[in-house]
């Protein structure tokens, strides 16, 4: 991204343009600026951008620090699916058997993780996310029962 294009995108992002946030996040991701990319995706997701929710979910799972980030990432993928992202559905299916996700399905602390995701100090869950989180936890518990 050239200096002027970057400056233009930065200005648009600062003004709340979610597509500019997505573009800037992708550029940062390509240039290994993981935290900055995640910030751009999260901001665009909060504005309802389905692809940003997908990217934020992927990054939480791939670069997060534990099961709470992983559950939060799965939730963001579910939200992206609900908002119409076809690619998020594919990624969600891929992650169900991913090593970073499998521990959620075998753990007994899913309710604790759910509470942690619900009490995120940076953003409270909207009604869509609350319903999706409840469905996701039920899905994990049902998978747990099948695997035992």
Are 25 and 71 in the same domain?
A: no
Are 42 and 57 in the same domain?
A: no
Q: Give the domain range for residue 103.
A: 50-148
Total tally of structural domains belonging to the chain: 2
Residue 137 tokens read as: 């936890």
Are 62 and 90 in the same domain?
A: yes
Residue 32 tokens read as: 């290994």
pTM of the model: 0.78
- Write the pLDDT tens digit of every residue in 9-25: 555 555 567 788 888 88
Are 56 and 20 in the same domain?
A: no
| Burial label, 70 (beta-carbon count in 10 A; 0-12, 13-18, 19+) | buried
Question: What number of other Cβ atoms are within 10 A of residue 63's Cβ?
Answer: 14
Are 23 and 72 in the same domain?
A: no
Q: Within its chain, how far is the Cα of 70 from the centroid?
A: 9
Question: What number of other Cβ atoms are within 10 A of residue 29's Cβ?
Answer: 18
Are 24 and 87 in the same domain?
A: no
Are 40 and 74 in the same domain?
A: no
Are 24 and 61 in the same domain?
A: no
The domain boundary residue, chosen from 25, 47, 69 = 47
Rounded Cα gap, residues 58 and 8, in angstroms: 27
- Write the pLDDT tens digit of every residue in 88-145: 999 999 998 787 788 787 767 888 888 888 887 666 788 899 999 999 999 888 877 7
């Amino acid at each position: 991204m050239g200096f002027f294009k970057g400056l233009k995108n930065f200005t648009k992002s600062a003004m709340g343009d979610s597509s500019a946030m997505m573009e800037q996040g992708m550029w940062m991701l390509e240039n290994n600026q993981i935290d900055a990319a995640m910030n751009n995706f999260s901001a665009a997701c909060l504005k309802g951008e389905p692809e940003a929710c997908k990217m934020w979910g992927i990054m939480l799972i791939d670069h997060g620090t534990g099961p709470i980030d992983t559950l939060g990432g799965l939730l963001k993928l579910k939200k992206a699916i609900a908002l119409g992202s076809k690619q998020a559905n594919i990624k969600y299916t891929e992650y169900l058997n991913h090593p970073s996700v499998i521990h959620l399905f075998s753990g007994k602390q899913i309710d604790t993780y759910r509470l942690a995701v619900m009490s995120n100090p940076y953003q409270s869950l909207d009604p869509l996310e609350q319903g999706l989180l409840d469905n996701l936890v039920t899905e994990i518990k049902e998978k747990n029962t099948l695997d035992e």
